[in-house]
Every structure is written in C-alpha cells, then in structure tokens.
C-alpha cells in the first residue's frame, strides 16, 4: 500500500500549496520513489472548463483531455509525470457521482448525506490513484482553499476519517500557513499560524509538518514558538520565504531536511537525492547571460495566472539560450482603437524582440490581436500564435495576403462572407459547454523540410488541444497560393494544426497548446526556437543601431 500525504492551507489563499506539493513530489521522486499528486477543489463546478480565466486563472489540460486546476501544471513541470482525470476532483464531481447513484437507486432507499456518502466518495478518490498504480509509493493530495472555508469541510472530514482508518505510519499531514511581516513593527507575527492550526486541530487533524510562508526569514525563535503552540517538533516547522524562482523552492526545502523528515515519518528508506541537474537548471534561470523581450498580446492580461503555463514555458525556453525572457503584457483591446496605425504600433512594439498571441474565447480584443499579427508579419518580428493566435493569423493573412477583405471567424463574425475559421464538424449541435471541446492529446504529422519539422526534429508529434473552431479547409488552396505553408496536419489530413510563413524569420502558429507540455529540463521545441528567433532579432536590431550610429 502506498503512503498518503495530505496538504492543507490556512490564513489566506494563494500561499503556494501547489508549489509546496510539487516540490515535495520533486524531492521524493529524486529519492527514487514513485509519486502521484492530486488536487481536490471544493468548488461546485464539475471542472474549471467553463470558469472565467479572470476568476480561476488558466485551465490546465491533461493528456486524456481532463480540464484541471493550474496546480496540476506545477505538478507535471516539477515531477515530469503526465497526470490524468483521476488526479483532479471537485465538489461538483463528487456530488454529480453521488446523485447519479441516487437516481439509479443504488443507495437502496437510504437518506443520502454528507456523512457517510460524500466523505466515502472522497475517500474512494483519495485511494483511487493507488489502485490505478499499484507500484506507487506516495500519493500527495492537496486540498484547495483554506481551513475554515465551509465548502472544504467535507474534504477535511474525509481526511480525518481516512487517517483514522489507515495505519498511523502510512499517512502524514502538511499544513501551509502565512507568517506575516509587519513592516511598521519590524517583526513577523506567528498568531495567524497558531489560529490556523488550532482551526485544523478542532476538526480532528493534527498536522505533522508546517510550511510557513513569509516575506522575511522567520528565524529559529519563531519556529520554536510555532512548534510549541502548534504541538510540533521545531524540526517539523519549515521556512518558505519568497524566492526569485519557484524552481528554487525544492532546494530551499531540501536544505531544511524537508524530504528526509517526510521519509522518516512515513517509514520510507531511500537514498539521498541527486539534485545536481535541478541545481544547474535553477542556476541558469537565476543567472541568465542576457534578456529578450517578448510581447504577449492577450485578452486576460490583468490576471497573469491566466497564462501560467506560457510564463513557465518562456522560463524553460530561455535556459538553452542563456537568456531571461522578459514578458511585456499588452491588452489586445488597447491595439484596436481607430487611431492605432502603423506608427502607433511601432511605438508600442519598440524594443520588442518577439510577439506571441495566446489562446482565448469570444470576440473581445480580436481586432487588436489581428493588428499585432499584421505588425509582426510586415516588420519581420518573430511571431508565435497559439490556438486563437492561429485563428487570428488566418484572419489577418486572409485579409492582407489572400485578398479576402472580410475574412473572419464563425465564432466572432458569423455574417462574414469568408469564414476562414469555422466550427468543427463534431461540435455542431452540441449544447452543453462543459467538457465538450476537442480536448487532450492528439497526433499530428509534420511536413518534411518545414520549420515545424526543424523545431521538433521529427515528423510525428502529439500535442494537447482545447478548442471548438478550426481552419476552414475550403480556403487552404488560396492560402497556399499566397505563400502559407500548412506544415502540421492531423493524420487524416483534415485538421490544420500548424501554419507558417517560410519567407519570415519566424512566423509559426499552432492550433494546440504547446505550453502544456513544456518542462524545465525539456523546453518545448516551439518555445525554444521562438526564443532563439527573438535572440537573433535582438542581435540584428542591435547591429543596425550600431551601424546607424557609426554613419
């Protein structure tokens, strides 16, 4: 039987439970253990697929098409393990399952209640990864939200029951909490942590480990005080200060014997982890030889978490080129005013070495994205389009190169005489929005001698998708005559996956989401080569500036 670790949070949300879980998974995997991570979210949505990016941030899509919380992206990036539907659970999914059973009469007339029916279903899902993967050593389960939230109570009660039912040495509890620094007083305060742990203990869960988030080092005295009031050995109180890179967190925790103490508590005999490669990666992230600027022209730029995987992919992509990627956020709506012309665009993109147009839904901000793509194409600025970015590229090229003046997408302009983007055939007639898009990993064949094939170094790839609309094949011939190369197609040749312009330093757009498969040790090929093109553009621009100054 696997060991089980439960991770909860207190005081405030967004403390970094996902990073703490991912870091523990990273360190235990480095010790040779097979680790599985899962996230339980208390909200009533069945999954985050229909939630606004402004509320929830990015929807992370797994290989099997599951739409999940963005923390699963951290899990995959830190452990380099592909997860699946069983690794994410919401209250909505729990109640959906229970009510379906109730309608079928499976409860034999019994009253359906939170205890035992809801808690039993949660416990079933806790242990499910261990049944699916009998060789798993450790299952790490993160509970979303904070202790004290009313919607979290069934999950916490399930954990309490589960720990009572399992041998003591087979489970551990980790609580993440805030130790705020009061600038006016010049000191940190432990009382919020004490209250948070007291709340957790009041429902029957005594944490075995505390991870204390703070802007400043908390010091040994504060750790002893926290341990005393929270009924913990001081060695089980860990400091988690702000760091320049999230990838530094496993190293900081390892230096405090974090993973060693977990293994001792759970009775796991392991070798010391070899973290040399991870240390080299972190050093490269923290010590780049230079910087390139990439403009991200999006419609959810007010909340950076909406593009979390893209942000991380750029960090990964900078490593092999010894550069840091500075992301310049541009609201696409700011580029669509009537007075935004070539001169204004030139000012906005001054000093930019690459332009990325990411995914999204709806018509808001589309003209601005099209303007950004036109600027990148006409001025030979490296361009990378993702999902909606490909569809906007089709619109821009259709209007300016193919001569389809009113080219558009059936999603935004259903009255367009030239719908170069239209609804996928299998999407027609679908009324439910949740979980019905083209989701998950699909194969793609690349055109030999294309830029895409050069980036990947192979001709058969697999990438993750999340979309309803696709390129309208009725227009392919016209686009090809205008110089567009459709370099990636589905195996049956029916779905355009990648388009590129060969007479351009880097103009590539894809229908899938490559950011979902990028890892710190394996930057995604398209992001890696896009950053390489941005570096080359920067060098070319600098040479021109020097030549102009000399003349």
- The CATH number linked to 393 is 3.40.50.880
Residue 400, number of CB atoms within 10 A of its CB? 17
Is 548 inside any structural domain?
no
220 and 316 share one domain:
no
**Average of per-residue pLDDT across 281-285:** 97
pLDDT at 34 over 60: yes
367 and 240 share one domain:
no
**549 falls in which pLDDT band (50, 70, 90)?**
confident
pLDDT tens-place string over residues 36-66? 999 999 999 988 888 888 777 899 999 999 9
pLDDT at 125 over 60: yes
Is 66 inside any structural domain?
yes
Are residues 34 and 135 in contact, defined by beta-carbon separation less than 8 angstroms? yes
Strands (E), 227-310: 237-241, 290-298
69 and 143 share one domain:
yes
pLDDT tens-place string over residues 301-320? 888 889 999 999 999 999 99
pLDDT tens-place string over residues 3-19? 999 999 998 888 899 99
Residue with tokens 């600098």: 542
pLDDT tens-place string over residues 420-449? 999 877 666 665 556 568 899 999 999 999
58 and 199 share one domain:
yes
Is 73 inside any structural domain?
yes
Are residues 12 and 147 in contact, defined by beta-carbon separation less than 8 angstroms? no
**377 falls in which pLDDT band (50, 70, 90)?**
very high
Domain boundary among 229, 246, 279: 279
**What pLDDT shows up at residue 432?**
56
**212 falls in which pLDDT band (50, 70, 90)?**
very high
Are residues 172 and 5 in contact, defined by beta-carbon separation less than 8 angstroms? yes
Are residues 321 and 531 in contact, defined by beta-carbon separation less than 8 angstroms? yes
254 and 300 share one domain:
no
Is 285 inside any structural domain?
no
Is 180 inside any structural domain?
yes
Q: Of 141, 127, 158, 139, nearest to 39 (Cα)?
A: 141
43 and 137 share one domain:
yes
pLDDT at 351 over 70: yes
Cα(195)–Cα(421) distance, rounded to whole angstroms? 55
Is 176 inside any structural domain?
yes
Is 171 inside any structural domain?
yes
pLDDT tens-place string over residues 459-489? 999 999 999 899 999 999 999 999 999 999 9
**What pLDDT shows up at residue 436?**
66
97 and 234 share one domain:
yes
Domain boundary among 279, 309, 337: 279
- The CATH number linked to 84 is 3.40.50.300
For residue 522, which phi and psi values (nearest 5 degrees)?
Answer: -140, 80
Q: Of 392, 365, 408, nearest to 509 (Cα)?
A: 392
269 and 299 share one domain:
no
Name the domain count of the chain. Answer: 2
**What pLDDT shows up at residue 277?**
97
**343 falls in which pLDDT band (50, 70, 90)?**
confident
State the DSSP H helix or E strand holding residue 326, giving kind and residue range, or none if neither: strand 323-331
Is 161 inside any structural domain?
yes
258 and 314 share one domain:
no
- Max Cα separation, the chain? 90
Provide the CA 154 distance to its chain's centre, in angstroms. Answer: 27
Are residues 79 and 137 in contact, defined by beta-carbon separation less than 8 angstroms? no
pLDDT tens-place string over residues 172-211? 999 999 999 888 888 899 999 999 999 999 999 999 999 9
206, two tokens: 């005594």
Which domain range does residue 401 map to? 290-541
180 and 300 share one domain:
no
**What pLDDT shows up at residue 353?**
97
For 91, 204, 273, 322, the CA distances from 140, given in Å and listed in that order, are 18, 19, 18, 34
Query: What's the whole-number average pLDDT of the chain?
Result: 93
450 and 369 share one domain:
yes
Question: Which amino acids are annotated catalytic?
Answer: 387, 513, 515
414 and 267 share one domain:
no
Domain boundary among 279, 309, 338: 279
């Amino acid at each position: 039987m696997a060991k089980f670790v439960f991770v909860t949070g207190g005081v405030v949300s967004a403390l970094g439970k996902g990073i703490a879980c991912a870091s523990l998974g990273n360190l235990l995997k480095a010790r040779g253990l097979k680790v599985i991570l899962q996230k339980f979210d208390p909200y009533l949505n069945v999954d985050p697929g229909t939630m606004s990016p402004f509320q929830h941030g990015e929807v992370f899509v797994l290989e099997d098409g599951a739409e999940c919380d963005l923390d699963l992206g951290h899990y995959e990036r830190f452990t380099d393990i592909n997860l699946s539907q069983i690794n994410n659970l919401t209250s909505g999914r729990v109640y959906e399952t229970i009510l379906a059973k109730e309608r079928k009469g499976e409860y034999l007339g019994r009253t359906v209640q939170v205890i035992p029916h809801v808690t039993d279903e949660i416990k079933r899902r806790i242990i499910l990864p261990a049944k699916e993967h009998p060789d798993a050593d450790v299952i790490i389960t993160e509970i979303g939200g904070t202790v004290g939230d009313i919607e979290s109570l069934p999950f916490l009660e399930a954990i309490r029951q589960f720990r009572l039912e399992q041998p003591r040495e087979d489970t551990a509890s980790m609580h993440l909490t805030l130790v705020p620094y009061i600038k006016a007083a010049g000191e940190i305060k432990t009382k919020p942590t004490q209250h948070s742990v007291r709340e957790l203990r009041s429902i029957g869960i005594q944490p075995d480990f505390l991870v204390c988030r703070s802007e400043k080092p908390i010091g040994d005295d504060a750790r002893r005080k926290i341990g005393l009031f929270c009924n913990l050995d001081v060695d089980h109180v860990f400091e988690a200060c702000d760091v320049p890179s999230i990838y530094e967190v496993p190293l900081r925790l390892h230096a405090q014997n974090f993973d060693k103490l977990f293994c001792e508590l759970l009775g796991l005999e392991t070798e010391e982890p070899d973290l040399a490669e991870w240390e080299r990666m972190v050093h490269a992230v923290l010590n780049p030889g230079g910087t390139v600027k990439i403009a991200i022209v999006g419609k959810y730029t007010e909340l950076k978490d909406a593009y979390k995987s893209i942000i991380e992919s750029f960090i990964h992509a900078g490593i092999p080129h010894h550069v840091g990627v500075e992301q310049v956020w541009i609201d696409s709506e700011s580029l669509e005013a009537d007075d935004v012309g070539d001169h204004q665009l030139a000012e906005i993109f001054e000093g930019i070495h690459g332009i990325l147009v990411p995914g999204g839904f709806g018509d808001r901000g589309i003209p601005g994205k099209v303007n950004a793509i036109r600027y990148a194409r006409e001025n030979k600025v490296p361009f990378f389009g993702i999902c909606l970015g490909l569809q906007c590229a089709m619109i821009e090229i259709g209007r300016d190169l193919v001569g389809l003046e009113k080219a558009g997408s059936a999603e935004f302009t259903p009255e367009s005489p030239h719908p170069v983007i239209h609804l996928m055939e299998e999407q027609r007639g679908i009324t439910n929005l949740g979980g019905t898009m083209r989701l998950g990993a699909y194969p793609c064949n690349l055109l030999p001698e294309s830029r895409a094939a050069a980036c990947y170094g192979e001709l058969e790839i697999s990438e993750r998708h999340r979309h309803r609309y696709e390129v309208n094949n009725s227009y392919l011939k016209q686009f090809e005559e205008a110089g567009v190369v459709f370099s990636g197609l589905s195996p049956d040749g029916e779905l355009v996956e990648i388009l590129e312009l060969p007479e351009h330093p880097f103009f590539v757009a894809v229908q899938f989401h490559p950011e979902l498969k990028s890892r710190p040790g394996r930057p995604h090929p398209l992001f890696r080569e896009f950053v390489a093109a941005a570096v080359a553009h920067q060098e070319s621009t600098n040479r021109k500036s020097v030549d102009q100054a000399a003349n």
